[in-house]
Amino acid sequence: MKGKLLLVAVSMLMSFATQAVEGRTVNYRVDGQEFEGYYISPDAKAPLMLMIHDWDGLTDYEIKRAQMLAEEGYAVFVADMFGAGVRPTKVEDKRQHTGELYKDRQKMRALLNGALQMADSLGANTELTVAMGYCFGGAAVLEMARSGAEMKGFVTFHGGLKTPQGQDYSKTKSSLLILHGAADQAISMEDFVALSRELEKASVENEMIVYSGAPHAFTVYGSDSYRQVADYKSWQRFLSYLKAVNPS
């Protein structure tokens, strides 16, 4: 019976977004390059989620998640990290675009800050911002955390966890929530443990959760990696975290 109830709850979760709050595509520029983000907001006072996409680029997946968050009362700006019209489908192209940003951390930070500035220009409540991301986007969120960005919190879903040489978390100003799959073959448990030690050394408040049997990209519904239980549990923990860092 518990299993059936959980599956019903997950089904409700995945179909939660409605047309009550409508989002829109937003064209913006960072350092002369064109980007195409997505913005949705239930009202001007809503806390902002800065969402960073995975290595597929900004797709319907991020839009769906943004709509779900809007129904929970949050504004969402989904950043575009690759450029307008760049939505790679081949693995080698995905590696190219993410690899360029992994090699140029200053550009990665500039794109993250540029997206936040665009959200601010749209009237988003950027004083109450949480940065969150999936896979590659999770790694970008940690880059933002290490930069000392003024955020209410940082959240990663099956994100990259390694710290680049020469960086640390000494400038991090807010807590981290790390949601990871125990069966992830792309980001190892060794990476997970190493990050935990780094955060403790830097005295950064954190919560790191591992979901048994969950592979990399366990939240991506419709894929072979999708795991309903891990998706549901991680999403619920995410929502409770948001309420804790931005109490009403």
The residue to which tokens 């879903």 are assigned: 157
Question: By three-state DSSP, how is residue 90 classified?
Answer: coil
- Give the pLDDT mean for 161-168: 97
Query: What's residue 18's pLDDT?
Result: 41
Query: What's residue 8's pLDDT?
Result: 40
**Would you say residue 3 has pLDDT above 50?**
no
**Would you say residue 199 has pLDDT above 90?**
yes
**Would you say residue 7 has pLDDT above 50?**
no
Q: In CATH, which of 3.40.190.10, 3.40.50.1820, 1.10.3720.10, 3.40.50.150 is domain 25-245?
A: 3.40.50.1820
- Ranges of beta strands (E only) in the chain are 24-30, 33-40, 47-52, 75-79, 125-134, 153-157, 176-181, 206-211
The dihedrals phi and psi of 209, each to the nearest 5 degrees, come to -120, 135
**Would you say residue 217 has pLDDT above 60?**
yes
Query: What's residue 172's pLDDT?
Result: 98
- Give the pLDDT mean for 19-27: 86
DSSP 8-state class, residue 185: S
The answer to whether 63 and 23 have CB atoms below 8 angstroms apart is yes
Confidence of residue 20 (pLDDT cuts 50, 70, 90): low
Query: What's residue 247's pLDDT?
Result: 84
What's the mean pLDDT when you consider all of the chain? Answer: 93
Please provide the size of the chain in residues.
248
Q: How far apart are CA 159 and CA 184, in angstroms?
A: 10
Q: How far apart are CA 109 and CA 148, in angstroms?
A: 11
pTM value > 0.85? yes
Query: What's residue 99's pLDDT?
Result: 97
